[in-house]
Amino acid sequence: MSENLGLVLLVGALVVLAGALAVRVSTRLGLPSLLVYLGLGVLLGESVVGLRFDDAELARTLGICALVVILAEGGLTTRWAVVRSAVPRSVLLSTLGVAVSIAVTGSLAVLALDISWRTGLLLGAVVSSTDAAAVFSTLRGIGLPRRVTATLELESGFNDAPVVIVVVLLSSDAMVSLPEAGLLVVYELVVGAAIGIGAGLVGAWVLRRSALPASGLYPLATVAFCVIAYAGADVAHASGFLAVYLAGLVLGNARLPHRRATLGFAEGLAWLSQIGLFVLLGLLVSPSRLPDVLLPAVVIGLGLLLVARPLSVLVTMLPFRVPLREQGFVSWAGLRGAVPIVFALIPVTEDVPGALQVFDIVFVLVVVFTLVQGTTLPVVARWLGVAGEAETREVEVESAPLEELGADLLQVRVPAASRLHGVYVEELRLPGDAAVTLIVREGRSFVPGPTTRILRGDELLVVTTAAVRERTELRLRAVSRAGRLAGWRGEDGRRRG
């Protein structure tokens, strides 16, 4: 192994570099990047370049590790103020909606493919989970109403948990009655949620009170707490996927030091996980078997896209009176990605009859329908009238602790649509123990005076004592949204969903 270490590192580095460059290429072509990664894996595989990889157990293990990182990043980058109102819809869509999708897709698979009910329901369960990586990366590039984006993002973070429980139960030879299975699902979700929230709260408390010697340690510690949440839930035989997502959600919305650096680190890890995961899955598949499952994959995919998914959305959205056009977009935007393929490895490693066929069908289904849905999302959004402006007036505020001085340094970025543009520094009316100490504009730094105008694109450094930090942030957010007359107009700066 040591003799080939240099070659292994070279190939690995080239794959990561190619994956990073593929993001730019796929964006220009309007293709989801996961298809490029899967194609790269197939290209490197035994059928083309000749790299042989057929260890499904290792692929399953590495896949779950990658999903933990991806879900942690999804939680860390999700803003609670934006998604809070969508929680009831997303929870129902991730539970009852998943059940409807499994039943409809499984029944269609049994009728269309002449397979056993166990295999059919297993296929329905595997493809019923939307992919967090695909949803997070695709939707954030489209200007959508907050409630639509929030519903889809939370659903993709939540629905992995119930789906993997069902897949494991169907892959097991143990006889479990329906009431027992229901109680098991409830236990895993409730305990997993409790462990995830608890780990996030503990992590936030520790990080706020720890003066670590290097700023780069804060991102490491934050991600470590997310992994601890998954591990703790797994040890308790609860839902690790739900735990890691909720831990990330709590930590990502806590007032942590070097928050922006933490999010950047988590995003980089998530991209690395996506690249490695998709390339690995591409290596695992055998292209020679795929033509035989193309027609079954298209049939199941059409049933999922045109029947099962719309029905699950319709049933779960009834209590919330969601407009039909938004329901239509939520139905179309249920993107599949690496998650169904990883889940399809579970029955393969458990030697379930027909599992290899399920894996091949899921692989082809993901490729075909990610191509169809991913490339048409902007068009569908405009056609349904749910696309809008992606501009924001919300300022980004990052803090670095100044322990010895009992103060915080806030770094404020002024977005293009912010009403901070044109406001004089003195018109900010910050608390007495806070001051704008530096402005960075077009690469040039200068110390502002009371009559200095703030412009879009500026970066402000604001020093504030710990006692007035929250009031300072609220005031900056208020002026960013309502302008210099914030306060007179009732704007208090608090973020709303």
pLDDT of residue 339: 85
Average pLDDT, stretch 475-487?
Answer: 84
Given this model, what pLDDT does residue 494 score?
58
Q: pTM, whole model, 2 decimals?
A: 0.76
What pLDDT shows up at residue 288?
A: 83
- Rounded mean pLDDT of 56-65? 90
Distance linking the first and last C-alpha atoms of the chain: 53
The arithmetic mean of pLDDT across residues 88-99, rounded, is 92
pLDDT of 192 > 90? The answer is yes
Distance, CA of 313 to CA of 166 (rounded, Å): 20
Q: Which residues fall within 8 angstroms of residue 497, CB to CB, at 6 or more apart? A: 81, 82, 83, 84, 85, 86, 146, 147, 150
At 78 the pLDDT is 85
CATH class held by domain 396-482: alpha beta
Does residue 258 surpass a pLDDT of 90?
no
pLDDT at 287: 83
Q: Write out 413-471 in H/E/C secondary structure.
A: ECCCCCCCCCCEHHHHCCCCCEEEEEEEECCEEECCCCCCECCCCCEEEEEEEHHHHHH
CATH 3.30.70.1450 residue ranges for the chain: 396-482
Q: What are phi and psi of 416, to 5 degrees?
A: -60, -40
Return the number of other C-beta atoms located less than 10 Å from residue 87's C-beta. 15
**pLDDT over 60 at 489, yes or no:** no
Decide if 332 contacts 373 (C-beta within 8 A).
yes
pLDDT at 491: 59
Segments of the chain assigned to CATH 1.20.1530.20: 11-383
Q: What is the Cα–Cα distance from 308 to 312, expressed in whole angstroms?
A: 6
pLDDT of 394 reads 59
Q: Give the pLDDT score at 405.
A: 62
Cβ–Cβ under 8 Å, residues 406 and 469: no
- What pLDDT does residue 364 have? 92
Backbone angles phi, psi at 205, to 5 degrees: -65, -45
Q: Across the chain, which distance is largest between two alpha carbons, in Å?
A: 77
- Could you tell me the two tokens for 201? 């709260």
Average pLDDT, the chain: 85
Q: What is the pLDDT of residue 31?
A: 62
Buried b (16+ CB within 10 A) or exposed e, 106-130: bbbbbeebebeebbbbbbbbbbbbb
What residues contact residue 338 under an 8 Å CB cut-off, 6+ apart?
34, 63, 66, 67, 131, 133, 134, 274, 277, 278, 281
Distance of CA 425 to the CA centre of its chain: 37
Topology classification of domain 11-383 = Na+/H+ antiporter like fold (1.20.1530)
